[in-house]
């Protein structure tokens, strides 16, 4: 029985083999770099985006593997906020291409420039956080998040993360490399460290800074841009911090509103007192008394709201202080560990240097057994704080010195014989 599938790309019932033989038409080049070409083309009456290798690197196995890695990572992510890849197949004149959905929209930086509403920009940033959270849930780190790699689609105003050319995951350890774009790259990425979700946290902070989200976000953005151990540990933690800031701001605004209405009520009561006649009847007096009670209730509500706001701020500050203390403690522990490891490395280097000096003393003593001297030295320095692996490395380093001396002697002998 012939199998048919419903492709989410075309919305039509097609044979699973139709895409292999169908060709693309109306191919247009959108951009080209030293390593990649981006095209758009039509198939099944729809526009698609194609990504292939530039001609200069098209036959390079490393770049072919990198393109395949990008496709595998995109296929592993299931999110409405991430560009969808549908297949990887050869295209005439361009070779192997990643076939992706076509997104009608504009880049985030263009959208931000055109959007004056700070509220809309904040909503968009939260949507971007949701997109990155989906990426991280698939054990992928994007490593090149920036406004030009985020497309805001025209249909619903939702962001789409694109360009996974520098993305990485633990399953692609052989392809790890320094990656990122200036101004949005985390400092640790410049030295090619293992991909970490906190790399993307830094980039999100840089993006938020460009989006002008308001003063209430400044402390949160600052923390995103801290060294890796002081940043938010996940997108979830970053979202919690934003929610907390929103609650504090909302309570503060509510308190201000209550104070305004209380001031209005006080003004009304004062005017009533001022215009009441000496012969006011009991009904007038009753109205004034009711106004007084309402005024007192308003002030009580204001005080309660302000107390709640102050309590929330105090609680948030205590939590932040405790978190900063924990981060500082962790940083201090890591620094102590690093210092201890560095001191131990220097100790091993000094031991190797001492062994080389001992062997060097016998360079001109042709009767000395340099190998035995090296072995005796290694045996003499064996202690409990030096592991067997390190002892083996020390032995190999000193024996290498022995071989260098023997080679030098042989060369001298051969040169002497020639003369």
CA–CA distance, 391 with 389 (Å, rounded to integer):
5
pLDDT at 145: 93
pLDDT at 122: 93
Q: How many structural domains does the chain have? A: 4
Domain presence at residue 157: yes
- Residues 257, 322, single domain; the answer is yes
- Residues 311, 273, single domain; the answer is yes
- Residues 39, 158, single domain; the answer is no
Q: Distance of alpha carbon 140 from its chain centroid, rounded?
A: 10
Domain's final residue, options 41, 75, 101: 101
Write out the H or E segment, with its range, that includes residue 78: none
CA–CA distance, 380 with 174 (Å, rounded to integer):
40
Domain presence at residue 268: yes
- Residues 198, 274, single domain; the answer is no
* DSSP result, 270-281: HHHHHH--TT--
pLDDT at 96: 93
CB 166 within 8 A of CB 179: yes
Instruction: Assign residue 46 the CATH number of its domain.
Output: 3.30.200.20
Domain presence at residue 13: yes
Domain's final residue, options 175, 201, 233: 233
For the chain, the helix, strand and coil percentages under 3-state DSSP, each to the nearest 5:
60, 15, 25
- Residues 220, 290, single domain; the answer is no
List, for residues 312-322, the tens digit of each pLDDT value: 666 766 776 67
Domain presence at residue 356: no
Domain presence at residue 344: no
pLDDT at 237: 92
Phi first, then psi: what are they for 85, rounded to 5°?
A: -100, 135
pLDDT at 151: 92
List, for residues 393-418, the tens digit of each pLDDT value: 888 988 988 888 888 888 888 777 76
CB 125 within 8 A of CB 173: no
Domain's final residue, options 41, 74, 101: 101
Share of the chain above pLDDT 70, in %: 74
CB 151 within 8 A of CB 159: yes
CA–CA distance, 344 with 228 (Å, rounded to integer):
25
- Residues 146, 220, single domain; the answer is yes
CB 105 within 8 A of CB 154: yes
pLDDT at 216: 84
pTM here is: 0.58
Domain presence at residue 45: yes
- Residues 209, 122, single domain; the answer is yes
pLDDT at 4: 39
Label residues 28-66 b or e (16+ Cβ within 10 Å = b). eeeeeeeebbbbbbebeeeebbbbbbeeebbeeeebeeb
Domain presence at residue 171: yes
Query: In Å, what is the CA distance from 371 to each residue of 66, 335, 374?
Result: 47, 39, 5
- Residues 258, 293, single domain; the answer is yes
pLDDT at 298: 67
pLDDT at 271: 61
- Beta bridge partners, 95, equal 91
Residues 412, 414, 415, 416, Cα dihedral to 10°: 80
Domain presence at residue 341: no
- Beta bridge partners, 49, equal 40, 100
pLDDT at 171: 47
Q: Which of 20, 147, 142 is nearest to 73 (CA)?
A: 142
- Residues 214, 259, single domain; the answer is no
Determine the structural domain holding residue 74 and report its residue range: 5-101
CB 199 within 8 A of CB 143: yes
Instruction: Assign residue 209 the CATH number of its domain.
Output: 1.10.510.10
Residue numbers of the chain with a pLDDT score lower than 50: 1-21, 170-179
């Amino acid at each position: 029985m012939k199998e048919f599938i419903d492709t989410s790309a075309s919305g039509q019932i097609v044979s699973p083999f139709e895409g292999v033989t169908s060709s693309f038409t109306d191919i247009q080049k959108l951009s080209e770099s030293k390593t990649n070409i981006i095209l758009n083309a039509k198939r099944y009456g729809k526009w698609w985006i194609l990504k292939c290798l530039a001609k200069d690197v098209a036959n390079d196995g490393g770049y072919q593997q990198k393109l395949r890695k990008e496709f595998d990572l995109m296929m592993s992510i299931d999110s409405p906020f991430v560009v969808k890849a549908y297949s990887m197949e050869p295209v005439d004149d361009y070779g192997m291409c990643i076939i992706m959905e076509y997104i009608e929209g504009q880049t985030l930086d263009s959208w931000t420039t055109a959007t004056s509403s700070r509220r809309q920009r904040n909503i968009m940033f939260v949507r971007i956080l949701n997109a990155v959270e989906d990426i991280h849930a698939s054990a992928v780190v994007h490593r090149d998040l920036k406004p030009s790699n985020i497309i805001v689609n025209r249909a619903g105003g939702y962001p789409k993360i694109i360009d996974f050319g520098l993305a990485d995951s633990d399953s692609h350890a052989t392809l790890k490399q320094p990656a990122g774009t200036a101004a949005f790259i985390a400092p640790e990425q410049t030295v090619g460290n293992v991909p970490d979700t906190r790399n993307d946290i830094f980039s999100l902070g840089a993006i938020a800074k460009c989006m002008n989200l308001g003063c209430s976000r400044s402390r949160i953005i600052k923390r995103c841009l801290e060294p890796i151990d002081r940043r938010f540990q996940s997108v979830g933690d970053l979202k919690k911090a934003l929610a907390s800031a929103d609650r504090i701001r909302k309570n503060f605004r509510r308190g201000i509103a209550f104070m305004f209405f209380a001031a209005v009520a006080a003004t009304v009561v004062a005017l009533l007192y001022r215009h009441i006649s000496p012969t006011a009847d009991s009904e007038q007096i009753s109205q004034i008394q009711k106004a007084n009670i309402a005024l007192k209730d308003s002030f009580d509500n204001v005080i309660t709201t302000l107390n709640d706001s102050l309590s929330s701020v105090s609680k948030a500050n205590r939590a932040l202080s405790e978190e900063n203390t924990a981060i500082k403690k962790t940083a201090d522990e890591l620094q102590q560990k690093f210092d201890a490891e560095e001191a131990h490395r220097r100790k091993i280097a000094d031991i190797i240097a001492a062994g080389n000096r001992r062997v060097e003393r016998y360079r001109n003593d042709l009767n000395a057994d340099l190998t035995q001297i090296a072995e005796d030295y290694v045996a003499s320095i064996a202690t409990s704080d030096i592991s067997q692996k390190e002892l083996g490395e020390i032995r190999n380093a000193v024996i290498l010195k022995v071989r260098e001396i023997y080679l030098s002697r042989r060369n001298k002998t051969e040169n002497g014989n020639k003369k």
